[in-house]
A and B are shown apart, each in its own frame.
Chain A
Amino acid sequence: MSGDFPVPLLLILGAVLVPLLRGRARAALTLLLPLAAFVLVLGLQHGSYWQVEFLGAQLVLMRIDKLSLLFSYVFLLAVFLAAIYALHEDSPAQQTATLVYAGSALGAVFAGDLLTLFVFLEIAAVSSVILIWARHSSTSFGAGMRYLAVQLAAGMLLLAGIAVRVAAGEGVMFDHIGLESPGGWLILLGLGIKCAFPLLHNWLQDAYPEATATGTVVLSAFTTKIGIYALARGFAGEDMLIYVGTAMAAFPIFYAVIENDLRRVLAYSMNNQLGFMVVGVGIGSEMALNGAVAHAFADILFKGLLFMSMGAVLMRAGTVKGSELGGLYKSMPWTTGFCIVGAASISAFPLFSGFVTKSMIMSAAAGEGYLFVWLVLLFASAGVFHHAGIKIPYFAFFAHDSGIRCREAPTSMLIAMGAAAALCIGIGCAPSLFYRLLPFSVDYAPYTPTHILDQVQLLVFSALAFAVLMRTGIYPPELKSVNLDSDWTYRRLLPALASTVRCGYGYVSTAVAPALQSLRAAAGAVSSLYQPRGIFARTWSTGGTALWMMVLLLVYLIEYLL
């Protein structure tokens, strides 16, 4: 196999065929394209390919190294699992959008220059919004519009950053960028939106839970992880990211505890997991970077699995509100089991994937002596078990019996969940195989007696805290509600300000109307003097002018003599 096949195009161009086919042929295509792409990716050789000259800049469309390959593997796995998950559906728009989105995600991680990265991120933004709109509700339409606006704004920041860098003679190559120049800051801000940095995060919790069952699974895999990949490549070792990531890991868990929509709880917990990755990138040592990208890989699988299980609940029970669910383990035992595997993985139980990936970041933070950061991350680890590990399965499948009796999820969904669960356990049980894929060689052993005991103690006592709070009635009940977050600024504050300004303008314009009228009258009087045929616009006869000159000279003479 040639080393330079443009794999992203295979998915993007292949997607065009999806609407032309029907039934099984279409389903087969959605499965075969990721498989074929995976085979091609396995054949790629390290190096830079498809170098083209564009407007005087040298673009590299395919840069193959361990970092880009790792992300390409997991992206293809994710789109393949999502295709299996969606086999029972007949939705050409979503299937097409998924393939284009996945193809552009691949294009973004293979991009060797910033312009190519920008173009693929834009295609990803536009194709992914289809997955939100496919829910066909007014809520999802609004959420999709906001999502698109935020994503395109991030793209503009990225493009502005690229322009500033080009003007400063720093070129368009996508290697370490750093924060020494203003272009770097603009690019970081753009990527910060994609990674859901604090205060730039709320598009994620706003939009993802409004997508379709399959849509959310697909969305959870790509955009934020491209952001993490780009940070790892461009901003590794920037101290600021350690503290940004720490804040990111901590604050969403408070929201997750009180949120009622269980897919929104997962969106908050995703924000928390991204925080761990950003800390890893900020520390920037080989172990921390390995941890960050390994955790991104694991997160795509276990978060995908959790979203799949909630998607199955949404499809069968018609809701994912914690306040309306409960007791579903009786109707959906397999989904319950797979959800628990996902929950154990995100909570970093030994033998599950999170245990062997997140611990590298924790260990790197401790090894570099970041005491405060480490303590907050430990708090966030206990918190993630609390809200994602316990709350999600508990309120959906156990808790009080809601009386909902539905069918188990369709076989296609169960197969996808089973495969994702197997991968989560596989990575957790055989970390050395997985570690070989990481960009740097790994000198880390997750399974030491100390680490196992520490982690199990942390988790069991977190579970005990949950049980105690539940039995004493202190635990806040699931309530039908929304919680204000930073999206309030653009959904309420800015519209309110705009209408205040509009009202104020109306008030002022009525108040000053009389004054304006007299001003207009004065202006009319002045202009009547100057308008054509006005007194100052007339042409005068030569005799008249000579007469006036004589009068002026006479006045001057008299004044001089006096």
Chain B
Amino acid sequence: MKTGEKRYWLDDPANVTRLYQGLWVIGILLVLCDLLLHKHEDFMFAGWFSFYGFFGFVACVVLVVSAKGLRRLLMRSEDYYER
């Protein structure tokens, strides 16, 4: 960033951390909502406490870690097809 340029709210790492913490607060509140709401699900296990939150988190971690592993197999230099 050039000096003298306008500083944006997100330029401050402390604000990014605040955003991150805010997301955790929202996540925890959503999980707590599970206690209050009587859910109607097609599959029984989908009604387990915070099934969707847990599934979403684990699914994304598995996705990213395995995709990262796939890079070893699939990744080539940018000019691979031009050579």
Q: Which A residues contact B (CB, under 8 angstroms)?
A: 139, 253-255, 257-258, 329-330, 363, 366-367, 371, 374, 378-379, 382-383, 386, 398, 401, 403, 448-450, 453-469, 471, 474-476, 479-485, 491-492
Contact = CB atoms under 8 A, between A and B. Distances in A.
A483 B72 CA distance: 10
Contacts of A456: 30
A468 B24 CA distance: 10
Interface of B: 1, 6, 8, 10-11, 20, 23-24, 26-27, 30-31, 33-34, 37, 39-43, 46, 50, 52-61, 63-68, 70-71, 73-78, 80-82
A467 B23 contact: yes
Contact of B27 (A255, A464, A481): A464
A469 B27 CA distance: 16
Given A471-B20, A481-B76, A484-B76, A461 B66 contact: no
6 contacts: A139-B82, A403-B1, A453-B30, A458-B52, A464-B23, A483-B74
Contact of A480 (B65, B67, B74, B78): B78
Given A258-B74, A258-B75, A403-B1, A476 B81 contact: no
A450 B37 CA distance: 8
A457 B67 contact: no
Contact of B40 (A258, A450, A476, A482): A450
B56 to A, nearest CB: 4
Given A258-B68, A382-B60, A448-B40, A457 B50 contact: yes
Contacts of B55: 378-379, 382, 458, 461
Contacts of B46: 454
Most chain A Cβ neighbours within 10 Å, of B26, B40, B57: B57
B74 A383 contact: no
Contact of B77 (A255, A378, A401, A481): A481
Given A253-B63, A383-B59, A383-B63, A374 B43 contact: yes
A523 B82 CA distance: 49
A460 B78 contact: no
Given A253-B63, A455-B52, 16 more contacts: A253-B67, A255-B67, A257-B67, A258-B70, A329-B8, A386-B64, A401-B1, A449-B37, A450-B37, A457-B27, A462-B57, A469-B60, A474-B64, A476-B67, A484-B73, A484-B76
A476 B63 CA distance: 11
A366 to B, nearest CB: 4
A482 to B, nearest CB: 5
The DSSP consensus for interface residues of chain A is helix
B43 A366 contact: yes
Nearest to A483: B74
B76 A457 contact: no
Nearest to B61: A465
Nearest to B82: A139
A479 B67 CA distance: 13
A460 B53 contact: yes
A483 B54 CA distance: 30
B59 A457 contact: no
Given A476-B67, A484-B76, A379 B59 contact: yes
A480 B75 CA distance: 10
A129 B19 CA distance: 44
A374 B44 CA distance: 13
A481 B75 contact: yes
Contact of B39 (A255, A450, A460, A476): A450
A403 B46 CA distance: 45
Given A458-B53, A469-B61, A258 B76 contact: no
Contacts of A465: 56-61, 64
A559 to B, nearest CB: 79
Contacts of B52: 453-455, 457-458, 461
Nearest to B68: A476
Nearest to A259: B67
A453 B60 contact: no
Contacts of B71: 258, 476, 481, 483
A458 B57 CA distance: 8
A460 B76 contact: no
A255 B75 CA distance: 10
Nearest to B31: A457
A464 B57 contact: yes
Pick the 7 closest A-B CB pairs, nearest first.
A366-B42, A465-B60, A461-B56, A257-B67, A458-B56, A457-B52, A457-B53
A477 to B, nearest CB: 10
Contact of A483 (B31, B37, B39, B76): B76
Contacts of B34: 453, 457
A197 B56 CA distance: 26
A449 B43 CA distance: 17
Given A330-B8, A382-B59, A460 B37 contact: no
B35 to A, nearest CB: 11
B56 A450 contact: no
Contact of A371 (B40, B43, B70): B43
Given A254-B70, A258-B70, A467-B20, A461 B57 contact: yes
Most chain A Cβ neighbours within 10 Å, of B10, B60, B70, B76: B60
Given A465-B57, A484-B76, A453 B64 contact: no
B1 to A, nearest CB: 6
A371 to B, nearest CB: 6
